[in-house]
Structure 1
Amino acid sequence: MCGRARCTLRPEDVRRACHRHGSPARFLHLECYRPSYNVAPGSYMPVLRRDKDGVAVHCMKWGLVPGFTKKTDKPDFFKMFNARSESIAEKASFRRLLPKNRCLVAVDGFYEWKKEGSKKQPYYIHFKDERPLVFAALFDSWQNSGGETLYTFTILTTASSSALDWLHDRMPVILGDKDSVDTWLDDPSTSKLQPLLAPYEKSDLVWYPVTSAIGKLSFDGPECIQQQIPLKASQNSLISKFFSAKQPKTEERDKETIPAGPKEEPILEGVLVSDSNDEIKQVDEEKAEPLVGDSSAVASPPESVKKEGESVETGGLELTGKSSGRKRDYELFSAQEKPWKQQQSVVVRMQDDKSCGKHGRKKQGKGNSKERQSTLHFFFDEK
């Protein structure tokens, strides 16, 4: 069934969509029409019907109120906003309207809800090329106790097409070409109408999920047709995937993240690199394990160092955020970008050690490779 639609068409667009742009037309009660992305029964919509001299674009209320309804009754627009095409020739409310009260309703698209467990997901259905959809409809007029004449209409429905039966078992009767529109609107014989009431099976009808907020009558605007991607229950968030991922063993992680570098550490722009480090000496050298590959290899110097709070690339490792101040963090910086985090202490040593030469550099010995290996092993130690 069709209970919500998008109708933002101009009255002239309605006539063009119904292939009547070359015919003389009257426009009636258009002051009541308000274009909307969320039209519901009880709202005014432009309807094209036959007129004496041609056609009329007549603004009517969606939701049929039969002409034989008592004048004192309060109209219920939700009672007959749809009519089953299979039974319109049998029910009195519709049978008397078939000969002369057939009309056309043009919309941008319509909405349908798919029940998913305890919730319902709405979908927006429209033509792929964005042309208007034309529905077969019936209209009637009713006069209330105050003498006011009210024009109302109902949209005919049929069995759902093979492409949309997963969504709902019913769909509007869509007249997809000029011949079907002409037959429904102008042919005086009702015997030719039955073939028009079949499901629309062409592949140019498309759909996608939209926000469930359109269930509220007050919700309107372009947000109604913004595509939504519902998350499947089996999908986990990226955060849960991150914490659930197993970490590789220590030795395997060492092989992957510690590249072989030069045998001697480079001198970084005149800053003294001291082999003596109080915290490094606290590492038990006897428990150090050799690195994979060259026994004298050390981590390659950092390619780029950014400001605090930004990522720091360190030859195969990437560090982000501020240093936590823990000993393990310090050891990483000691091994990978030594002495980037200890510049102040190094400068003090430069001032105290006047025998370093005029450039303030100390020669690097080759006997300290075991100590550097111990430093890296301490960082990657799982304890």
Structure 2
Amino acid sequence: MCGRCRCTIRPDDVPRACHLRDTSVRQVDVDRYRPAYNVSPGSYLPVLRRESGGDEGYTAAVHCMKWGLIPSFTKKDEKPDHYKMFNARSESIGEKASFRRLIPKNRCLVAVEGFYEWKKGPKKQPYYIHFKDGRPLVFAALYDSWKNSEGEILYTFTIVTTDSSSDLKWLHDRMPVILGDEASTDLWLNGSSDTKFNTVLKPYEKADLIWYPVTMAMNKASFDGPECIKEIPLKSEQQSNPITKFFSKKGTDDDKESNKTIKESTKNDVQSDVKEEAEAQANLQLSSCGRTVTEIKSDVTTLTPESDSKVEVKRDYEKFLADSKPSTGELGKLPQTPLKKSKVKSGAEKQATLRSYFTKS
């Protein structure tokens, strides 16, 4: 696609820019041309076309035409829309009636210093595309004439486009057909109706086509002047959006705080597990002894995460059994109230039953 361009070329320089030499060229309506850095459809530009013959012997003409094709079959009372067909796809110009009938005799060349394209995004960024050495770009184009209701004849043209080059696909999927040498411009301008134009209607792939970002003021068609082609630096995402950096830093602090919380939670879980295991052991032994829960809890509170839980619990348990054994003088005395048996018999309960048996005997 090509919707904006820079054209400050003098009409006298157009033939040389199009590699046309030793040829008689006349000028038509060039007084309508206004050089500009930001040209849009509906503006007048100098176009090089073949001369259809004449007594003066001219073979070509620099004809000032409006950008944006108005087909000759358009109704006379219809208001022309130059934005409707300011580009013509090279793949379909042989199929659409608006373009197909123009190929045999209405081919022309448009010379400009460069054109603009916009990178899509939250904010469209314009880029200026031109030749590295500053020579003009020559576009393949088609022109037509239309007579309005007042009898005025208006000449208009459309720029032929093709797929974008491999180097410019990141910017846009279309680009104008650039005729980069004398052979291609001569073929498009002077070729016969039987000529196969597919050889020149293709992307421009040479490395001398360069680009750089320009001011976003270019988004307005009314903006004009040398500032249009002044290169600007692009700010990085972090620089252009400081709030992104703020949230990124906050996210880092949150991650650290989260890691700290996880460590503390893990430490508390270990302590809780040790206490729960000791209490479970104590509750199992409670059925066979007279120690109170308060005494057992006091033992549990002495445990720390740094000690080996299994070894300490076993050692306390053995000490607990030793303290719970009755003395020799008490063997003959039966307990006043027999211990209530629990559903699961522990080792301590079995030993108490054997003592009772031997006492009876």
From 176, 183, 193, the equivalent of 2:197 is: 193
> What SS does the aligned partner of 2:48 have?
strand
Q: In the alignment, which residue of structure 1 is the partner of 2:154?
A: 150
Q: In the alignment, which residue of structure 2 is the partner of 1:56?
A: 61
Q: In the alignment, which residue of structure 2 is the partner of 1:94?
A: 99
Q: Does 1:129 align with 2:130?
A: no
Assess, with a 3 A threshold, how the Cα gap between structure 1 residues 233 and 99 changes in structure 2: closer, same or farther. same
| Percent identical residues | 68
Q: Does 1:14 align with 2:14?
A: yes
Q: What is the alpha-carbon distance in structure 1 between the residues aligned to residue 221 and residue 210 of structure 2?
A: 24
Q: What does 1:62-141 correspond to in 2, within 5 Å?
A: 62-116=67-121, 118-141=122-145
Residues 67-117 of structure 1, C-alpha deviations (whole Å, 9 max, x = no match): 00000000000000000000000000000000000000000000000012x
Q: In the alignment, which residue of structure 2 is the partner of 1:274?
A: none
Residue identity matched to 1:98: I
Bigger helix fraction: 2
Q: In the alignment, which residue of structure 1 is the partner of 2:37?
A: 37
Q: What does 1:351-366 correspond to in 2, within 5 Å?
A: none
Q: What is the alpha-carbon distance in structure 1 between the residues aligned to residue 240 and residue 91 of structure 2?
A: 46
Q: What is the alpha-carbon distance in structure 1 between the residues aligned to residue 200 and residue 183 of structure 2?
A: 10
Q: What does 1:212-227 correspond to in 2, within 5 Å?
A: 212-227=216-231
Q: What is the alpha-carbon distance in structure 2 between the residues aligned to residue 190 and residue 133 of structure 1?
A: 26
Q: What does 1:200-219 correspond to in 2, within 5 Å?
A: 200-219=204-223
What's the TM-score once normalised by structure 2's chain length? 0.65
Q: Does 1:25 align with 2:25?
A: yes
Aligned-pair CA distance for 1:22: 2.1
Q: How many residues align?
A: 241
What's the TM-score once normalised by structure 1's chain length? 0.61
**Cα RMSD for the two superposed structures:** 1.9
Name stretches of at least 5 consecutive residues in structure 2 with no aligned partner. Answer: 246-361
Contact 1:63-1:82 at 8 Å conserved across structures: yes
> What SS does the aligned partner of 2:91 have?
helix
Aligned-pair CA distance for 1:212: 1.0
Aligned-pair CA distance for 1:233: 1.1
Q: What is the alpha-carbon distance in structure 1 between the residues aligned to residue 187 and residue 170 of structure 2?
A: 30
Aligned-pair CA distance for 1:235: 3.1
Contact 1:98-1:190 at 8 Å conserved across structures: no
Residues 146-179 of structure 1, C-alpha deviations (whole Å, 9 max, x = no match): 0000000000000000000000000000000000
Residues 20-73 of structure 1, C-alpha deviations (whole Å, 9 max, x = no match): 242101000011000000000000000000002311000000000000000000
Aligned-pair CA distance for 1:204: 0.2
Aligned-pair CA distance for 1:190: 4.2
Q: What is the alpha-carbon distance in structure 1 between the residues aligned to residue 197 and residue 167 of structure 2?
A: 23
Contact 2:103-2:193 at 8 Å conserved across structures: no
Q: Does 1:228 align with 2:232?
A: yes
> What SS does the aligned partner of 2:217 have?
helix
Q: What is the alpha-carbon distance in structure 1 between the residues aligned to residue 219 and residue 119 of structure 2?
A: 13
Q: What is the alpha-carbon distance in structure 1 between the residues aligned to residue 127 and residue 236 of structure 2?
A: 16
Name stretches of at least 5 consecutive residues in structure 1 with no aligned partner. Answer: 242-383
Residue identity matched to 2:75: K
Q: What does 1:196-345 correspond to in 2, within 5 Å?
A: 196-235=200-239
